[in-house]
């Protein structure tokens, strides 16, 4: 099988990790064991964002996101199916991925700020609202929504049960799950 990358993007709390885990489980059961990455875990490995320094600038985030892109390419070039759940909402990232990852599938998990604040699993929006955090993606740090995602999901009422099937169906139509 040729390597593939499923890039799941969206703001904090939009359901990226939940979807990534469901996709990974379904693909593994179907005989396509993926490599699963989550932005939080990768950030702990790669830096340069240091929670203690408050370095969450656009530049540091973009540098980190480009490392994720290159890691995904390294693995997909070796034939791995990679699923990554990361905010990384930059036009430069989307463009690089489309240019350098031949079998790239982009998923945008979209949700209203009201819903994200309601969900707020990591307390990011609360901490922003109480002035503990700044440079929060989608609030005081501008983000670029994907212009041409292959799939747009919405977690407003919970992750729809058919979302994984829809994504896999779209990937099959593009022959992304064939050897």
* Domains in the chain with CATH codes: 4-173 (3.40.50.300)
C-alpha–C-alpha distance, residues 6 and 176, integer Å: 10
Q: Which two tokens stand for residue 163?
A: 């979302």
**Annotated active-site positions, please?**
88
pLDDT in tens, 84-133: 999 999 999 999 999 999 899 999 999 899 999 988 888 889 998 999 98
Provide φ and ψ at 84, rounded to 5°.
Answer: -130, 130
Side-by-side strand order, sheet with 151-154: 34-38, 81-85, 4-9, 104-110, 151-154
Per-residue model confidence (pLDDT) at position 91? 96
pLDDT in tens, 33-76: 899 999 888 887 876 554 544 557 788 889 889 999 999 999 99
Cis peptide before 97 (omega within 30 of 0): no
Per-residue model confidence (pLDDT) at position 154? 83
- Rounded average pLDDT over 140-153: 93
Per-residue model confidence (pLDDT) at position 32? 87
Residue with tokens 């890691």: 71
Higher pLDDT, 54 or 3: 3
Per-residue model confidence (pLDDT) at position 144? 94
**How many residues comprise the chain?**
179
* Residue (of 2, 1, 3, 8) closest to 167 by Cα position: 8
Helix axes 39-46, 58-77, angle to 10 degrees: 100
pLDDT surpasses 80 at 143: yes
Per-residue model confidence (pLDDT) at position 53? 46
Higher pLDDT, 174 or 47: 174
Per-residue model confidence (pLDDT) at position 162? 82
């Amino acid at each position: 099988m040729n390597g593939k990358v499923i890039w799941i993007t969206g703001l904090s709390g939009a359901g990226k990790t939940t979807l990534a885990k469901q996709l990974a489980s379904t693909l593994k059961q179907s005989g396509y064991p993926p490599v699963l990455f989550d932005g939080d875990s990768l950030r702990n490995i790669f830096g340069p964002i240091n929670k203690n320094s408050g370095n969450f600038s656009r530049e540091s985030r973009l540098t980190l996101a480009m490392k994720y892109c290159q890691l995904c390419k390294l693995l997909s070039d070796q034939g791995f199916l990679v699923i990554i759940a990361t905010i990384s909402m930059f036009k430069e990232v989307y463009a690089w991925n489309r240019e350098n990852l031949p079998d790239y599938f982009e998923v945008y998990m979209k949700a209203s700020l009201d819903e994200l604040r309601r969900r707020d699993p990591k307390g990011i929006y609360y901490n922003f609202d109480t002035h503990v955090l700044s440079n929060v993606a989608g609030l005081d740090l501008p983000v670029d929504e994907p212009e041409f995602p292959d799939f747009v999901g919405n977690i407003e009422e919970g992750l729809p049960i058919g979302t994984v099937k829809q994504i896999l169906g779209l990937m099959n139509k593009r022959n992304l799950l064939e050897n």
